[in-house]
């Protein structure tokens, strides 16, 4: 439930921020959008300063802590597969973040507000399934739920977005992608926490965040080369196919599906 509520809070803020940003850019220009981002960052700093973090009664060794945690995680199943899936998720997020606005502008010929509505639809889907998981549904086999959600949509959603040439169809794809994404992200983080030793929880979850966010610069470089050699839509399809095969290779193994 806690993980689902975290996803709910994150996606709810994404909906508000994306829609507000699109509206501000549409009304006042790109510079106003950057000022809005600056104000939101300042607000986050102010809120963070008032967060009370519990102090630990034990002092964990700092030297080599991340390296030792990585060694444990990478030689232990299902942590190794779950961290690999986190990295693939990072590539998928990178592709949708960087290429979807370009597709909305150059292929679908929409304005900033309509382009932001695509991300809003995706976030609404994630909120819907996150609320469902938090309040109504606790799967007896979370690995099976992760297999179906990630295997059916994580990479194939990029392929569908790259092939679509209709705005309403793209909007529907974003909504459905968000619905499955909410389940996949919730199950992924839940399984990471369930199979991580308590003394390594912070470090392993940090590794998961690094695997996901660290994929952004690598994915951005790859996308730059692909877009330069082909087109935005072709690049989206290529990355979607590669990510689909990577996801299937991970989630269809007994290591994940039998969790």
| Cβ partners under 8 Å of residue 248, min gap 6 | 151
Rounded distance between C-alpha atoms, residue 205 and residue 5, angstroms:
17
Instruction: Tell me how many domains the chain contains.
Output: 1
List the pLDDT tens digit at each of the 259 positions of the chain.
455 455 555 555 655 665 666 677 767 776 777 777 787 778 777 876 766 665 554 545 555 666 777 777 778 889 999 999 999 999 998 999 889 989 998 999 998 778 888 888 888 888 888 788 877 778 888 899 999 999 998 899 999 999 999 999 999 999 999 899 888 888 888 898 888 888 888 788 888 888 888 888 898 999 999 999 999 999 999 999 999 999 999 999 998 988 8
- Token duo for residue 242: 């590669």
The answer to whether position 49 is within a domain reads no
The answer to whether position 239 is within a domain reads yes
Residues of the domain holding 89: 2-26+65-257
The answer to whether position 54 is within a domain reads no
**C-alpha distances in angstroms, 164 versus 49, 176, 178?**
44, 14, 17
Rounded distance between C-alpha atoms, residue 99 and residue 54, angstroms:
40
Spatial CA neighbour of 149 closest among 96, 187, 190: 187
The answer to whether position 8 is within a domain reads yes
Please calculate the CA angle 44-46-52 and round it to the nearest 5 degrees. Answer: 95
Q: Please give the pLDDT value at position 201.
A: 82
**pTM value > 0.85:** no
The answer to whether position 69 is within a domain reads yes
Report the CATH number at residue 172: 1.20.1250.20
Rounded distance between C-alpha atoms, residue 183 and residue 180, angstroms:
5
Spatial CA neighbour of 90 closest among 253, 258, 254, 239: 239
**What stretches of 99-242 adopt beta strand conformation (E)?**
none
DSSP string, 38-102: HHHHHHHHHHHHTPPPPPPSS----TTHHHHHHHHHHTSTTHHHHHHHHHHHHHHHHHHHHHHHH
The answer to whether position 18 is within a domain reads yes
Rounded distance between C-alpha atoms, residue 39 and residue 16, angstroms:
14
Rounded distance between C-alpha atoms, residue 125 and residue 81, angstroms:
26
Rounded distance between C-alpha atoms, residue 44 and residue 251, angstroms:
36
């Amino acid at each position: 439930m806690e993980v689902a509520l975290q996803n709910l809070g994150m996606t709810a803020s994404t909906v508000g921020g994306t829609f507000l940003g699109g509206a501000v850019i549409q009304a006042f220009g790109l510079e106003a959008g950057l000022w809005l981002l600056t104000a939101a960052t300042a607000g986050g700093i102010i809120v963070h300063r008032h967060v009370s973090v519990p102090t630990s009664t034990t002092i964990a060794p700092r030297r080599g802590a991340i390296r030792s945690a990585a060694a444990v995680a990478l030689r232990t199943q299902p942590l190794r597969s779950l961290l690999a899936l986190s990295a693939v998720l990072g590539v998928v997020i990178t592709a949708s973040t960087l290429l979807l606005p370009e597709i909305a502008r150059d292929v679908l010929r929409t304005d900033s507000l309509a382009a932001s509505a695509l991300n809003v639809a995706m976030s609404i889907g994630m909120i819907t399934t996150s609320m469902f998981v938090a309040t109504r549904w606790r799967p007896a086999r979370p690995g099976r739920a992760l297999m179906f959600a990630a295997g059916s949509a994580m990479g194939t959603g990029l392929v569908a977005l790259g092939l679509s040439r209709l705005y309403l169809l793209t909007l529907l794809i974003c909504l459905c992608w968000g619905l499955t994404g909410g389940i996949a992200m919730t199950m992924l983080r839940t399984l990471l926490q369930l199979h991580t030793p308590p003394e390594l929880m912070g470090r392993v979850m940090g590794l998961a965040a690094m695997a996901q966010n660290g994929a952004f610069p690598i994915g951005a470089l790859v996308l730059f080369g692909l877009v330069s050699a082909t087109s935005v839509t072709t690049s989206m399809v290529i990355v979607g196919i590669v990510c689909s095969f990577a996801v299937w290779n991970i989630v269809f193994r007994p290591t994940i599906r039998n969790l």
